[in-house]
Chains A and B, each alone.
Chain A
Amino acid sequence: MSDEVQIDQEVYDRLIGEGKSERIARAKAKAAAVRQAKVAEGASLGPKSPEDAAKALEAAKEKAGGGGGVATKTAAPAEAQAGGGRLTPEERSARVAASLGNGGNGGSMGVPTSSDHTHRLLALVPPAGIQQVQSKQMDKVYTWPHLLLVEFVALLAAGSLLLIAAFFLDAPLGSLANPNEVPAINKAPWYFMGLQELLAYFHPMVAGVTLPGVFVLLLMAAPYVDKNPSAKPENRKVANLAFTFFLTFWGLLVIIGSFLRGAGYAWVWPWVQGLGFTL
């Protein structure tokens, strides 16, 4: 980062003295320094004082011919009201002509050089058109650098783990596929072992189509079935228990299928007959 950001040491020390955390003190001291720099450049700062704001509003109303309307919560700021109030078509075309025409001395874009009419990108929006977002003010931090840094570290960690695994463990490659030679141990990939294990107990239609179909539908339905509004673990013991049960059941099936089944899908102990499992 090129420009080292200045902090206002006085403010920093004072805040630390008041027992504020280092993070807060630094942020405020930084803000103070930026503010000072701006004042030094002669820029006018941030929010107006209440009196200034009231004065500006009055002035704006006057300019708009006293028709300033009632300031409601969702109404546009006074500035926009003044400039963008409803015009009659004649007034509007007059304005357009004034800003475009002006005897051709308006620069290449037709922007008049001497006019207090400026181009605006603001428009009045009727209150009904505004989406009301009801949300609490939350404790938030900037995505850059906070979140992106965490993501980057996670990415590096996962990437290096995988690279190490790929370096030391080779992916399996058996002999050429031969449709006439059924291998003694014949298993699906591990994530489908749950289904294959079910196949040992149920008719293939039930194990291979009905049950997985029902599971996927149940999963999709979960948010619509679980009407409990709370997300706190202590308030949703039933849901958590049900889901844990489901996961455990599924995990058990996968483990049994993967490790405890051998030739002919018979039950085996891996420490006796060896591990009949390939990733």
Chain B
Amino acid sequence: MPKLPTYDDVKGNVQDNVIWKSIFRPGSIYRKGYRDTSRDRALASMNNVLYHLHPVKVKRHGLKLTYTYCLGGLSFFMFILLTVTGIFLMFFYTPAAGAGTEVAYLNMREISASVTFGQLVRNLHRWGAHAMVFTVFLHMARVFYHGAYKPPREFNWVVGVILLVLTLLLSFTGYLLPWDQLALWAVTVGTNMMGFTPVFGDQVQFVLLGGMEIGPDTLLRWYVLHVLFIPFVTVIFLAVHFWRIRKDGGISGPL
């Protein structure tokens, strides 16, 4: 019987070829010859497109759980998770409503009843959305109590407030999509208020609803806002937010 290759043989063969080396740049922990040295640790963050959102080194106090409570990071994680689960739901959902063609609502029923993992993914999307609003709120509170908005971080706080508003809008536009009684009337409460905008009230409401009252046009409009427009704007502000953290000298503190 031929000798079986050992784990190290296999690992060596997998790692020591042109293709592997072309994928994992020097310093990657997956590349052959990674050593736990300062140089390779630095390269590990520099040579990876995701990790290099981070600086090579961070302040030691920022690592303590009780400094950030990971809240900004968790808000971002929620955003990613909502994007992934949201794309899944989009495969099974049509934003159409109106007498005789209650497709949106029927789609929701199907997602729960017959789509594989449909109910689970819908639950993840729903609870994830609530969780994101919550973590963003808490993140704002922790930033305030640390005085982390003080110069040079004033503007990043303003970007943060915009992100908070965008998060609320994302949640709120999504709330209408199931097109059930809960959705319709919760959203009615909100949009009625917007109708009281001074001077332009009626116009604001008309643009938001795509008509005089909530109907099939509102659903289509809010669907586009929810899956495309607001996420797009949010990603832009997230990019500015993260970039400014780096440019403002990394995380604030120590206190």
Interface residues of A (CB under 8 A from B): 1-3, 5, 30, 34, 135, 138-148, 150-151, 154-155, 158-159, 162-163, 165-167, 169-179, 181-183, 186-192, 195-196, 199, 203-205, 207-209, 216, 219-220, 222-224, 226, 228-233, 236, 239-240, 243, 247, 278-279
Contact with A along B152-169 (1 / 0, CB 8 A): 011001100100110010
Do the beta carbons of A173 and B112 come within 8 Å of each other? yes
Residue among A34, A143, A195, A240 making CB contact with B51, cutoff 8 Å: A143
Q: Which of B17-25, B52-60, B228-236 contacts A (4 or more CB under 8 A)?
A: B52-60
A143-B57, A174-B182 are known contacts. Are A222 and B144 too (CB-CB below 8 A)?
yes
In the complex, chain B residues whose CB is within 8 Å of the CB of A145: 41, 44
Provide the residues of chain B in CB contact with A236, threshold 8 Å: 147
**Which of A177, A187, A189 sits near B172, CB closer than 8 Å?**
A189
- Residue from A141, A176, A232 in contact with B255 in the complex, judged by beta carbons closer than 8 Å: A232
Query: Per DSSP, are chain B's interface residues mostly helix, strand or loop, or mixed?
Result: helix
Residue B123 lies at the interface, judged by CB distance under 8 Å to chain A: yes
Q: List 27 A-B contacts (CB under 8 A).
A: A140-B58, A143-B55, A144-B44, A146-B58, A150-B63, A150-B70, A154-B77, A158-B77, A158-B78, A167-B123, A169-B123, A170-B119, A171-B123, A173-B182, A176-B102, A176-B179, A176-B180, A177-B105, A183-B181, A188-B189, A192-B168, A192-B172, A203-B196, A208-B196, A216-B165, A230-B147, A231-B252
Q: Do the beta carbons of B37 and A34 come within 8 Å of each other?
A: yes
Among A155, A203, A207, A229, chain B packs the most CB atoms within 10 A around the CB of: A155
Chain A residues with CB under 8 A of B37: 5, 30, 34
* Contact in complex: B161, A219 (CB < 8 Å): yes
Having A3-B33, A208-B196, one finds 14 other A-B pairs with CB under 8 Å, namely A2-B34, A5-B36, A141-B63, A155-B74, A172-B182, A177-B179, A179-B214, A188-B187, A216-B165, A226-B149, A236-B147, A243-B141, A247-B141, A278-B182
B198 & A173 in contact (Cβ 8 Å cutoff): no
Q: Which of A142, A182, A208 touches B38 (beta carbons < 8 Å)?
A: A142
How long is the Cα–Cα vector from A162 to B124 in the complex, in angstroms?
7
Q: Smallest CB–CB gap between B219 and chain A, Å? A: 9
| Min C-beta distance of A261 to chain B, whole Å | 12
B148 touches A231 (CB 8 A): yes
Query: How many Å lie between the Cα of A257 and that of B181 in the bound state?
Result: 19
* Residue B220, interface by CB 8 Å: no
Q: Flag if B60 contacts A141 (CB, 8 Å).
A: yes
Report B's interface with A, CB cutoff 8 A: 8, 11, 15, 29, 32-38, 41-42, 44-45, 51, 54-63, 65, 70, 73-74, 77-78, 81, 97, 102, 105, 108-109, 112, 119-120, 122-128, 130-131, 133, 141, 144-151, 153-154, 157-158, 161, 164-165, 168, 171-172, 175, 178-190, 192-198, 213-215, 249, 252-253, 255
Nearest CB of B to A247, in Å: 6
Distance in angstroms between the alpha carbons of A176 and B101 in the assembled complex: 12
Q: Does B193 contact A209, Cβ atoms closer than 8 Å?
A: yes
Q: Are B55 and A139 in contact (CB under 8 A)?
A: no
Partner of A243, one of B32, B145, B148: B145
- Are the CB atoms of B126 and A171 closer together than 8 Å? yes
Contacts of B214 in A (CB 8 A): 179
Instruction: Please measure, in the bound complex, the distance between the C-alpha atom of A122 and the C-alpha atom of B141, giving whole angstroms.
Output: 46
- A223 near B157: Cβ-Cβ < 8 Å: yes
B181 adjacent to A174 (CB under 8 Å):
yes
With A143-B55, A151-B73, A230-B147 as contacts: A171 and B120 at CB distance below 8 Å = no
Q: Which chain B residues border A175 with CB–CB below 8 Å? A: 180-181
Rank and list the top 3 A-B pairs by shortest CB-CB distance, nearest first: A208-B193, A231-B147, A166-B123
Measured CB to CB, the closest approach of chain B to A58, in angstroms, equals 31
- B189 A186 Cβ-Cβ under 8 A: yes
B210 CB to nearest A CB, Å? 15
* Given A171-B126, A174-B182, A209-B193, residue A142 in contact with residue B253 (CB < 8 A): no
Residue in A1, A150, A231, A240 whose Cβ sees the most chain B Cβ within 10 Å: A231
Whether A195 contacts B185 by the Cβ 8 Å rule is no
* Known contacts A146-B58, A171-B123: A188-B186 contact under CB 8 Å: yes
CB nearest to B108 among chain A residues: A173
Contacts of A176 in B (CB 8 A): 102, 105, 179-181
